[in-house]
Chains A and B, each alone.
Chain A
Amino acid sequence: MLAILKAVDVGRVYESGLIFKKRYAALEGISLEMEAGKTVGLMGPSGSGKTTLGKILAGLERPTSGRIFFAGKEIGSMSGRETAIFRRAVQMVFQDPEGSLNPRKSIGQSISEVLSMLKIPGRRWQEMTGEMLEKVGLSDELLCRYPGQISGGQCQRVALGRVLLLQPQAIILDEPTSALDISVQAQILNLLKDLQRDLGLAYLLISHQPEVIRFMAHDTIILVQSRTS
């Protein structure tokens, strides 16, 4: 099966200093493949470059070496149209659920924003919002509230719901439950599994909890501490 997203020998080096440059290799020679309906677990201690790898795969950061392929094409050499498709198809869910929503926009506004960006006609908004809320298990009472007024688990569901509106093929989940209680973690992980089964999503799940990875992942990658040189 063709991988949705593929990384080949990816590396990321950060430099600091003007004259005497210090090089810090956050990532070195990482290769992985993400397939539909499968979860790749990504583990490693803090500072081992897990999030950097996630961002590179989501196209939010460029690797300093190696290549990323989306549906067989390298993402650096895609046309504008293809890039737009890639941007939509590969989404990321961040660790801090409250921080990923605009605090000055109500939940309803945050959702409408995505719908308007997708150029969906206004008459369909209500219906689509309803469907999405149902998918992630939220009630429509929430729409008039602001991120600060709902719980972390609810924020994370909203963030996930917004991502799902884009009908992605792959989602990078960066510690999606580490800011949440164990009871909410259990809910979110089960929700993610159900969505994967129903929609055939490919996940890259970043976590430092071995139990979470064991519960979710089909394959696991463990990063070790990077070096400074």
Chain B
Amino acid sequence: MNSRRPDDAPILQIEDLSVSFSTATGQVKAAENVCFKLYKGETLALVGETGCGKSVVASSIMQLLPNNAHIQGRAIYAGRDLLSLSEKEMSRIRGSEIAIVFQNPSLALNPIMRVSEQIAEMLQVRKGYPAAQSLELAGEMLHRLGLQGDDKMRMYPFQFSGGMNQRVMIAASMILSPRIIIADEPSKGLDGALAAEVMAEMARIKNQVGASLLLITHDLNLARNISDRMAVMYCGEIMEIGESEEIFSLPRHPYTAALLRCLPERGFQPIPGPSPSMIKPPAGCKFHPRCPNISEVCRRKPKMTRVEGRGTAPAGSESEIREVKCWRY
């Protein structure tokens, strides 16, 4: 899985990203001081519960947020800050260098265009390929994702199930061989076995083209299966980041531990207390009202702290290091 060398520079670096939205009921703090690095060829999973701000992070990298969003921080890609690029510059990057797979495929596809044409269109517009050739390539891509046959090529999105449309979206995002793929809940709407299959195929194509994948999901097992590293988000903040296997076997942050205990194989133990408000988040550590190891100091904001990992990564590489936002470390 991990082909990254310790001296590799990150392909995408998110620094202190904060996003808030002005709404009638107040300022919604959707992301706060989010920092992470995405390396070449790796898969980084951004996991957390619905509404914790994962998708907001993805959309802000692509400059796809609505006008009422206030964005601070930087997203460095190829030496440039994506957040300060003009729309014209950004549109050149979208799709061909950084592609995004959205979570609602039925809404993201054009309802009156055949699926194969929607994929081929990418090649015609961006690369100037002739129609016949791009259709052929589109067909190949669909075939690899398990949608073979001429009849499938000629279908419209409404004739496909949600899962099939999701695969069309994935094909469209990968056809231009982007350097970074952002997948926002790509397994949503696919049932168990199919989700695993589609994700495995996605990981395989990603490795073939040497792209990096930022996987946004609430499915912890999916994240574990295909990601190298994992960042756990809660209420707009990254609470813990490190190697996926290590986080699973030894969660350091109390929230990560609580989240993992909700898993079926760990007995469906719910996290006590309600989810926090994003408008008036708890002061200090945002998890402290629900945390089993609360102490006085938790009312103040903890910093991201590096803890020694015991990972499988080569010594000295950055992934060996686990970062946790908790006063216990």
Contact = CB atoms under 8 A, between A and B. Distances in A.
22 contacts: A151-B275, A181-B50, A182-B219, A182-B263, A183-B49, A183-B259, A183-B262, A184-B49, A185-B262, A185-B268, A186-B261, A186-B262, A186-B270, A187-B270, A190-B268, A208-B191, A209-B192, A211-B264, A211-B265, A212-B264, A215-B264, A215-B268
A182 B50 contact: no
Contacts of B271: 183, 186-187
A45 B50 contact: no
Given A46-B191, A151-B275, A208-B191, A181 B218 contact: yes
A151 B50 contact: yes
A151 B267 CA distance: 23
Interface string B209-224: 0000000001110000
A49 interface: no
Given A181-B218, A185-B268, A186-B262, 14 more contacts: A46-B191, A151-B51, A181-B49, A182-B259, A182-B263, A183-B271, A184-B49, A185-B262, A187-B270, A187-B271, A189-B268, A208-B191, A212-B264, A215-B264
Contacts of A46: 191
A54 interface: no
Interface residues of B, number: 23
B148 interface: no
Contacts of B219: 182
A152 interface: yes
Contacts of A186: 261-262, 268-271
Given A181-B49, A181-B50, A190-B270, A209 B264 contact: yes
Given A182-B220, A186-B262, A208 B50 contact: no
A208 B192 CA distance: 8
Contacts of B50: 151-152, 180-181, 184
